[in-house]
């Protein structure tokens, strides 16, 4: 049996690559594992050899100490790899399959899964609907920033790439299918982006850039990306976006300079609960700033997609209300303008096959848009540090050195 190495959260600002257990078809006790899941048999699972596993902004929230994540939690929910072993109840998935692993863990059997709401599966997390690999309060499924990872309900969850050689040629693009590409796409779909739309996307991190790419794929006429980080704004401009530097003032005023009117048809929040203020308050944490500004700049009758993460527990929040996930929202404004709001985990399986086909047939270059940058697993701590400092990159960990010159 091979060994295994994985990235573990130790304390705020600290991660470490550790020797850890090779996966088995049964959940063991460990950091973050829900007691009701300990001993759970996973006869329906597959063990995946990780080819690519990404550092996500959601991981960064935990590493900053902004969640209740326990020390020792193995991180990572954006996984692409090769099946090396299957459990006795797996029928269709085979060793050697090259696959994308949706970050949502879902059973395929419950009411929500059957309705396509795989982000809120009822059977994988004893605390509440919805689960993910290596994430706080998500049931304790071990993360995939590792050499090997266990994937439950393999026949249901895994997306097989149709041709191995073709997939390896586009592996950095395909690595975005586990989370950020479907998540950005979901933000745009739920915001109503379509042919000729004008779109504002708050946040030029990887999810925001994935949303901007998705907006063009959906036919948007103008895509405006707002952020405080000039390097990330420059990355957005490289593939045709207009940009708004919100450190210089409200995005609404900059939108008017671009469009001639101070509003857009559709808006996407790709920032989440660690939002900063605009203009003079650019360095100050203001968790409701983005949502309130989106209500202000979205046309009456428009919709706001919210793939940005919001949490129920934030020990590092700026005020007591925010520590419980309570924000000072101008809901009256959104109500008066008849806005629609769409929140929650992206149901990855709703989109990943179609987006895979767009990648394989050269309709989109998502890795280039988000500046996907492979690094060895051993460099994960530095990758986390650089990403936390605002690097305009999407770091892709390469545990087995298989990404080559991708």
CATH code for the domain of 99: 3.90.180.10
Instruction: Please check whether residues 139 and 193 belong to one and the same domain.
Output: no
Instruction: Please check whether residues 157 and 205 belong to one and the same domain.
Output: no
Instruction: Please check whether residues 375 and 301 belong to one and the same domain.
Output: no
Instruction: Please check whether residues 370 and 381 belong to one and the same domain.
Output: yes
Q: Is residue 22 domain-resident?
A: yes
Q: Is residue 405 domain-resident?
A: no
Q: Is residue 272 domain-resident?
A: yes
Give pLDDT, residue 68.
86
Instruction: Please check whether residues 172 and 184 belong to one and the same domain.
Output: no
Instruction: Please check whether residues 271 and 373 belong to one and the same domain.
Output: no
- The residue ranges of DSSP E strands in 103-212, in sequence order, are 148-151, 159-160, 198-202
Q: In whole angstroms, what is the distance from residue 102 CA to residue 132 CA?
A: 9
302 lies in which domain range?
180-342
Instruction: Please check whether residues 140 and 43 belong to one and the same domain.
Output: yes
CA angle 123, 125, 127 (to 5 degrees): 120
Q: Is residue 16 domain-resident?
A: yes
Give pLDDT, residue 174.
98
Q: Is residue 403 domain-resident?
A: no
Instruction: Please check whether residues 104 and 245 belong to one and the same domain.
Output: no
Q: What is the pTM of this model?
A: 0.96
Task: Look at phi and psi of residue 87 and say left if phi exceeds 0, alpha if psi is from -120 to 50, else beta.
Answer: beta
Instruction: Please check whether residues 22 and 111 belong to one and the same domain.
Output: yes
Q: Is residue 185 domain-resident?
A: yes
Q: Is residue 406 domain-resident?
A: no
Instruction: Please check whether residues 189 and 173 belong to one and the same domain.
Output: no
Q: Which residues pair with 307 in a beta bridge?
A: none
Q: Is residue 404 domain-resident?
A: no
Tens-level pLDDT at each residue, the chain (406 residues): 688 999 999 999 999 999 999 999 999 999 989 899 999 999 999 999 999 999 999 999 999 988 889 999 999 999 999 999 999 999 999 999 999 999 999 999 999 999 999 999 999 999 999 999 999 989 899 999 999 999 999 999 999 999 999 999 999 999 999 999 999 999 999 999 999 999 999 999 999 999 999 999 999 999 999 999 999 999 999 999 999 999 999 999 999 999 999 999 999 999 988 888 898 888 888 888 999 999 999 999 999 999 998 888 778 777 788 888 888 899 999 999 999 999 999 999 999 999 999 999 999 999 999 999 999 999 999 999 999 999 999 999 999 999 975 5
Instruction: Please check whether residues 384 and 261 belong to one and the same domain.
Output: no
Instruction: Please check whether residues 53 and 136 belong to one and the same domain.
Output: yes
Structure tokens at 334: 């959104």
Q: In whole angstroms, what is the distance from residue 8 CA to residue 240 CA?
A: 37
Task: Residue 295: give its domain's CATH number.
Answer: 3.40.50.720
Those residues whose C-beta lies under 8 Å from the C-beta of residue 140, and which sit 6 or more positions away, are: 27, 30, 31, 32, 33, 34, 37
Those residues whose C-beta lies under 8 Å from the C-beta of residue 319, and which sit 6 or more positions away, are: none
The total domain count for the chain is 2
């Amino acid at each position: 049996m091979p060994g295994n190495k994985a990235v573990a959260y130790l304390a705020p600002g600290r991660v470490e690559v550790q020797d850890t257990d090779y996966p088995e078809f049964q959940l063991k006790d460990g950091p973050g594992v829900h007691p009701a899941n300990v001993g759970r048999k996973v006869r329906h699972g597959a063990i995946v050899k990780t080819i690519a596993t990404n550092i996500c902004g959601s991981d960064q929230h935990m590493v900053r100490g902004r969640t209740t994540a326990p020390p020792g939690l193995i991180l990572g929910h954006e996984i692409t790899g090769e099946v090396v072993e299957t459990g006795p109840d797996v029928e269709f998935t085979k060793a050697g399959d090259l696959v994308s692993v949706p970050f949502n863990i879902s059973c395929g059997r419950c009411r929500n899964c059957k309705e396509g709401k795989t982000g809120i599966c009822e059977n994988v997390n004893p605390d509440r609907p919805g689960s993910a690999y290596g994430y706080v309060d998500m049931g304790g499924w071990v993360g995939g920033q590792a050499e090997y990872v266990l994937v439950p309900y393999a026949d249901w969850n895994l997306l097989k790439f149709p041709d191995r050689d073709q997939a390896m040629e586009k592996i950095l693009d395909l690595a975005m299918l586990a989370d950020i590409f479907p998540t950005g796409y979901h933000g745009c779909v739920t915001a109503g982006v379509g042919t000729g739309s004008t779109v504002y996307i708050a946040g030029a991190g990887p999810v925001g850039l994935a949303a901007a790419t998705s907006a063009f794929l959906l036919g948007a006429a103008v895509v405006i990306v707002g952020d405080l980080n000039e390097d990330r704004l420059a990355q957005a401009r490289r593939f045709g976006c207009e940009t708004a530097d919100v450190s210089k003032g409200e995005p609404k005023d900059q939108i008017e300079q671009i469009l001639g009117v101070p509003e857009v048809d559709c808006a996407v929040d790709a920032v989440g609960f660690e939002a900063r203020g605009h203009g003079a308050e650019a360095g100050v944490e203001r968790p409701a700033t983005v949502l309130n500004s989106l209500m202000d700049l979205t046309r009456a009758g428009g919709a706001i997609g919210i793939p940005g993460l919001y949490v129920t527990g934030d020990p590092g929040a700026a005020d007591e209300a925010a520590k419980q996930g309570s924000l000072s929202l101008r809901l009256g404004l959104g109500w008066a303008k008849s806005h629609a709001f769409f929140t929650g985990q992206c149901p990855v399986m709703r989109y990943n096959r179609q987006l895979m086909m767009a990648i394989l047939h050269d309709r989109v270059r998502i890795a280039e848009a988000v500046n996907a940058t492979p690094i060895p697993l051993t460099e994960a701590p530095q990758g986390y540090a650089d990403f936390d400092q605002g690097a305009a990159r999407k770091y892709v960990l390469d545990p087995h050195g298989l990404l080559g010159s991708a």
